[in-house]
A and B are shown apart, each in its own frame.
Chain A
Amino acid sequence: DARVTQTPRHKVTEMGQEVTMRCQPILGHNTVFWYRQTMMQGLELLAYFRNRAPLDDSGMPKDRFSAEMPDATLATLKIQPSEPRDSAVYFCASGLQGASSNQPQHFGDGTRLSIL
């Protein structure tokens, strides 16, 4: 089965360090989403790309977070500098959006991030 692959699965680092999370979407999918999940806020959409172009990053703190798609097989989410409140599980999802129908989003297993 095709899967969304996220690395690393777990990351523990100290406050102030740069964190980079990577995502390989399902081959052929044209949309990529970054979500953050916490107990308090639930699932929040951070950013959304279609055909590698950022369409919406309004959910992302601009001063420290950045999201890019260097190519169709790789999406990255960076936090610099990281803060303890960034501790969460970060999910990447991909899907295929077409002119006449949208396919469901498929999720990776997430990166569990702990900032000390």
Chain B
Amino acid sequence: GEDVEQSLFLSVREGDSSVINCTYTDSSSTYLYWYKQEPGAGLQLLTYIFSNMDMKQDQRLTVLLNKKDKHLSLRIADTQTGDSAIYFCAESGGSNYQLIWGAGTKLIIKP
């Protein structure tokens, strides 16, 4: 079946850029999403990209999509302590609106 894979941890220094990567297998994905989960909270939609786009930028966030390699990345510029969270990648394919989720990448900020 379809699968979404992410590294479990990423550690960066405050002020540096963070790049969180995700690979997926479903070639019929229409939308790809990034969600952020802070401790004790729900999943907050950060951004999403339609599969016919290569890039989307929103303030400090840049999403890159390589459809040929089925690779999605989220770049956070000038990483702050408030960016500490788990970041989930998800993709939707087909018409049933269900999402296939990655396991989440925990972003750790070093001072």
Q: Which of B11-19, B73-81, B96-104 contacts A (4 or more CB under 8 A)?
A: B96-104
Q: A16-75: which residues lie under 8 A (CB-CB) from chain B?
A: 31, 33, 42-43, 45, 48, 50, 55-56
Report the minimal beta-carbon distance from A107 to chain B, rounded to whole angstroms.
Answer: 4
Chain A, residues 70-84, CB within 8 Å of chain B (1/0): the string is: 000000000000000
Are B44 and A107 closer than 8 Å at their CB atoms?
A: yes
Indicate if the CB atoms of A102 and B97 lie closer than 8 Å: yes
- Is the CB–CB distance between B97 and A31 below 8 Å? yes
Q: Contact size class for B?
A: 20 to 34
Cα distance, A33 to B30, chains bound together (Å): 19
B87 contacts the other chain (CB 8 A): no
Chain A residues, Cβ within 8 Å of B55: none
Question: Are B45 and A104 closer than 8 Å at their CB atoms?
Answer: yes
Contact call A106/B92, Cβ cutoff below 8 A: no
Query: Is A97 on the interface with B (CB-CB < 8 A)?
Result: yes
Assess whether A91 is in contact with B101, with CB atoms less than 8 Å apart. Answer: no
Q: Is the CB of B88 within 8 A of A108?
A: no
A-B contacts besides A42-B101, A107-B44, 9 pairs, CB < 8 Å = A42-B104, A50-B97, A55-B96, A56-B96, A102-B30, A102-B97, A106-B45, A108-B42, A110-B42
Q: Which residues of A contact B (CB under 8 A)?
A: 4, 31, 33, 42-43, 45, 48, 50, 55-56, 91, 93, 95, 97, 102, 104-110, 112
Query: Which residues of chain B have a CB within 8 Å of any CB of chain A?
Result: 30-31, 33, 35, 40-45, 48, 88, 92, 96-99, 101, 103-104
27 chain-A/chain-B pairs, Cβ below 8 angstroms: A4-B42, A31-B97, A33-B98, A42-B103, A43-B43, A43-B88, A45-B98, A48-B97, A48-B98, A50-B97, A56-B96, A56-B98, A91-B43, A93-B43, A95-B97, A97-B97, A102-B92, A102-B97, A104-B45, A105-B45, A105-B99, A107-B35, A107-B44, A107-B45, A109-B41, A110-B41, A110-B42
